[in-house]
Amino acid sequence: MSLTYTAHDVRRNLRSIPNLVFVALLPAVLFILFGAVQGWSDARLPGGNVSAYVMVSMAVYGAVTATTAISAGAAVERLQGWGRQLALTPMGTGGYAATKVAVALLIAVLPVVIVFLVGAFTNASMDDLWRWALAAVLCVVVSVVFAFYGLAAGLIFRSDTAVGAATGALVVFAFFGNVFMPLSGGMLAVARFTPMYGIVGIARYPVTEGEVATMGGAPQTDSLLWLVVNAVAWAAVFGIIALLAARSSMGRR
């Protein structure tokens, strides 16, 4: 892993203003619209209020968008010949992968920090300081699952459109994953098996302690074990797809 290349790639991503606005500022705007200014945002949950619940949800969405875009872009770079260029340097494939993972996580920190700052200066509330810290860390950590997703998308589509296609599909994943708005009934039952449900549930656990916000109906809860199983299972699915796509692309060469 090259720290020099890591620093260079972080700076390169930070200079991409359109992507930066989409990744870092859009989640904060969504939080203000769906969390801070809503009349029910002060309603209580086991570890905080509904505004904090929405804040964490939007932070996860921003972090996932960052890791997806960077990992998809990394896959496209290698397929377009950047891998042969790197072969002339001491940094091998493993080092390149480790560098891209580090860059993705560093960029993912940005939307989390911005959304949490907006939440702290509006009406987001958690009962303890450690809940704020743990939720912020979890938002970044769980976004690794979608680094595998972005890598798979980049290897399959093998063009610059891979990044747009992969990040665009996140809107669908987020809606059906109970991220943007509380689901209930049959839609909630289906949502529990979707890719984003587990990771956002883990990140929101310091606020919810497993309680599920729904649009009416009887109160429901999610066990932490189920949320972790969901996240690990989808990480494995995306990882296997990426591995098969990588082997296929190498075979064509």
The predicted-structure confidence for 49-87, as pLDDT tens digits, reads as follows 989 999 999 999 999 998 988 888 776 666 666 656 665
Q: Which residue has the higher pLDDT, 218 or 230?
A: 230
Q: Which residue has the higher pLDDT, 233 or 248?
A: 233
What does the pLDDT look like over 2-12, one tens digit per residue? 677 778 777 87
Most confident of 99-108, 132-141, 152-161: 132-141
Strand partners, 221: 211
| pLDDT in the model for residue 1 | 59
| pLDDT in the model for residue 81 | 63
Q: Taking 60 as the threshold, does the pLDDT of residue 253 lie above it?
A: no
Average pLDDT of the chain, as a whole number: 83
The whole-angstrom separation of Cα 242 and Cα 51 is: 36
User: Which has the closest alpha carbon to 149: 162, 136, 138?
Assistant: 162
Domain-wise residue ranges, the chain: 3-252
Q: Taking 70 as the threshold, does the pLDDT of residue 91 lie above it?
A: no
